[in-house]
Structures are given as structure tokens and as C-alpha cells.
């Protein structure tokens, strides 16, 4: 496994397992166990995914020592206040059955995230959270946070895949010492992602799938990836990306696929912001 190191010295695996859209207890637990058995040591959940209990139970059942597994979870907007964030973080620890969380994120830079962040800073100083970060920050928002917070985010988890590359965001994170992490590294399968001719053709040279090429591309530009699957063969396939290297020419060709915007969530659409505020977990 390859790692990136946060500015506080904590190391995060370059490849982890995402568990969004697996609300069913048994399915989430089975998929997580498959991932842990396949070698994944980073699990990415959230209060909003409604599966923290299943993830915690899978970790326990795996028998893998706690300090070998990196667990990320996220708090939702409804809990964004100083006390609310502390209470919600404690609830996550209880559901996960863990005494500390490796990385806690605020899921959106929305609502009273400034005070919620102060709550996270307190838990970080108390040692309950080993690292803290943000999700869904576009570069101008990230700069504002980094210039405001006492403790800068260690990571920024945003949508990043060949169709939405966010190079300015990656460059901004690098400038501020914030590690970039990609959610939806397959664009959630949109645009017939897994049959994309460019990714498939590049993959043929290395005996790899379009999915593996997309993961490798992000890893090679220093971005942590957290693909999701409930199928054991795909879980294994997605982990098998450390035995080949894309050439500069391949990287350049993938660069040309960028559409420059998301097709999953539009943070610039007022209706989307209203809807995100209305979601409660």
C-alpha cells in the first residue's frame, strides 16, 4: 500500500473503501468484510450513509487490529454547532464501537460549520479524533477556511474523476498542505464510465480495466481514492492498482477528458443547497 502523510504526521492509505448507498445492515457489513479481507485498510463512511453500526461490526468481526484500520466518518449539517458536533462525533464513536476516529469530516461547508469545526478541534486536541478534515470545499472556500481555522483541515474530500478533475482544487490543497481525496472516482458510473474508450484503450496496454486506470490516474497525481462496490470481484479488482504505472502520455490523454463540472451534485444551484439543508439523518 502507498500512503499520504498529513501535516500532523498521520498516514492515510492512498486507496480505501467507500460505503455510500449501502444502507442495508447485512449488505454493508458483508461488503466491508470483503474489502478488509481483500486488503483495504481505509473505510469511508458518514452519518448520512446510515451504516456506521454495520461498518463497526465488520471491523470487529474482521479481527484486524484497530490500529491497522483507518476509519473516516462525517457529520451532517443538522449537527453543525460547537456542542452539536461534539455530541454527533461521540454518537459516531458509539455506533462504530470505536474509542477514537482516525478522520472526522464535516460533510459540507454549509450551515454553522465554523462553530462545528471548533468542536472538532476540541476533540482533536483531546485525542478522540486523530485527524480532522472537510468535504466538498471548492478552492475559494478551502482558502477561506485555511485562513480562518486555528487547526487547518488535514484533508479535503471532493468529487474527482477524469470527467471532473478539479486541478485548481488539487493545486490549492497542495499549496496549503491539505491532502486531496476523491469521492466518486468512477463518476458513480455515469457517462458509461466503465466502457469509456480512452480508459479502456489505455487499460489494454497494462491488462487493466477502465476502473483500474481511473484509480491509478488519481493516485499518480497524489489523490487518495475511495471507490465503492458491493461485488467481491470488483472490490478485489479496484484494489489491484499498485503493479502498473501510467505513462506521461496516458496521464495527458486522460487530462483531455475533463468536462470541468460535476454531473452528480451542483453546489452552485440554489435548489441543491436548499435540498442539502433539508436532508436530516
Ligand X SMILES: NC(=O)c1ccc[n+]([C@@H]2O[C@H](COP(=O)([O-])OP(=O)(O)OC[C@H]3O[C@@H](n4cnc5c(N)ncnc54)[C@H](OP(=O)(O)O)[C@@H]3O)[C@@H](O)[C@H]2O)c1
Catalytic residues: 49
Least separation, in Å, of the C-beta of 16 and ligand X?
A: 8
Least separation, in Å, of the C-beta of 79 and ligand X?
A: 15
Least separation, in Å, of the C-beta of 255 and ligand X?
A: 19
Q: Residue 16 and residue 43: Cα distance in Å, rounded?
A: 6
**CB nearer ligand X, residue 124 or residue 186:** 186
DSSP assigned state of 250? H
Site membership for ligand X, residue 234 (CB under 6 A): yes
Least separation, in Å, of the C-beta of 74 and ligand X?
A: 6
With a CB cutoff of 8 Å and minimum separation 6, the contacts of 212 are 203, 237, 238, 240, 241
Q: Which of 13, 18, 84, 119 binds ligand X (CB under 6 A)?
A: 18
What burial class does residue 194 get, using C-beta atoms within 10 Å of its C-beta: 0-12 exposed, 13-18 middle, 19+ buried? middle
Site membership for ligand X, residue 13 (CB under 6 A): no
# residues near ligand X by CB under 6 A: 27
Site membership for ligand X, residue 263 (CB under 6 A): no
Site membership for ligand X, residue 70 (CB under 6 A): no
Least separation, in Å, of the C-beta of 224 and ligand X?
A: 11
Q: Residue 240 and residue 112: Cα distance in Å, rounded?
A: 40
Site membership for ligand X, residue 113 (CB under 6 A): no
Binding track over 132-151 against ligand X, x by CB under 6 A: ---xx---------------
Q: Residue 67 and residue 162: Cα distance in Å, rounded?
A: 33
Closest-CB residue for ligand X? 18
Q: Which of 12, 160, 211, 223 binds ligand X (CB under 6 A)?
A: 211
Query: Which of 156, 163, 153, 142 is CA-nearest to residue 222?
Result: 156
DSSP assigned state of 129? B
* Crossing angle of helices 197-206 and 210-220, rounded to 10°: 80
The dihedral sign for the CA sequence 157, 159, 162, 164 = negative
Query: Which of 182, 127, 178, 130 is CA-nearest to residue 154?
Result: 178
Residues that bind ligand X (CB under 6 A): 18-20, 44, 107, 135-136, 157, 183-189, 194, 209, 211, 226-231, 234, 237-238
Amino acid at each position: 500500500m502507498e500512503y499520504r502523510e498529513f501535516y500532523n504526521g498521520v498516514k492515510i492509505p492512498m486507496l480505501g473503501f467507500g460505503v455510500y448507498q449501502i444502507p442495508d445492515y447485512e449488505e454493508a457489513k458483508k461488503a466491508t468484510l470483503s474489502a478488509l479481507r481483500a486488503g483495504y485498510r481505509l473505510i469511508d463512511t458518514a452519518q448520512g450513509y446510515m451504516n456506521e453500526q454495520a461498518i463497526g461490526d465488520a471491523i470487529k468481526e474482521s479481527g484486524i487490529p484497530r490500529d491497522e484500520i483507518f476509519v473516516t466518518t462525517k457529520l451532517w449539517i443538522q449537527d453543525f454547532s460547537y456542542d452539536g458536533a461534539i455530541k454527533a462525533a461521540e454518537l459516531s464513536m458509539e455506533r462504530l464501537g470505536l474509542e477514537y476516529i482516525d478522520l472526522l469530516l464535516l460533510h459540507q461547508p454549509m450551515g454553522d460549520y465554523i462553530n462545528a469545526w471548533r468542536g472538532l478541534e476540541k476533540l482533536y486536541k483531546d485525542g478522540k479524533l486523530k485527524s480532522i478534515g472537510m468535504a466538498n470545499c471548492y478552492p475559494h472556500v478551502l482558502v477561506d477556511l485555511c485562513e480562518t481555522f486555528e487547526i487547518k483541515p488535514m484533508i479535503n474530500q471532493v468529487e474527482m474523476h477524469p470527467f471532473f478533475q478539479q486541478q485548481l482544487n488539487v493545486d490549492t490543497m497542495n499549496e496549503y498542505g491539505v491532502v486531496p481525496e476523491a469521492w466518486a472516482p468512477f463518476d458513480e458510473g455515469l457517462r458509461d464510465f466503465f466502457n469509456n474508450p480512452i480508459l479502456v484503450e489505455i487499460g489494454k496496454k497494462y491488462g487493466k480495466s477502465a476502473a483500474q486506470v481511473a484509480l491509478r490516474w488519481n493516485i499518480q497525481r497524489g489523490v487518495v481514492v475511495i471507490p465503492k462496490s458491493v461485488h467481491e470481484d470488483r472490490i478485489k479488482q479496484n484494489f489491484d492498482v499498485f503493479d502498473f504505472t501510467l505513462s506521461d502520455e496516458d496521464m495527458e490523454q486522460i487530462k483531455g477528458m475533463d468536462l470541468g463540472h460535476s454531473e452528480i451534485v451542483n453546489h452552485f444551484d440554489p435548489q441543491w443547497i436548499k435540498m442539502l439543508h433539508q436532508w436530516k439523518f
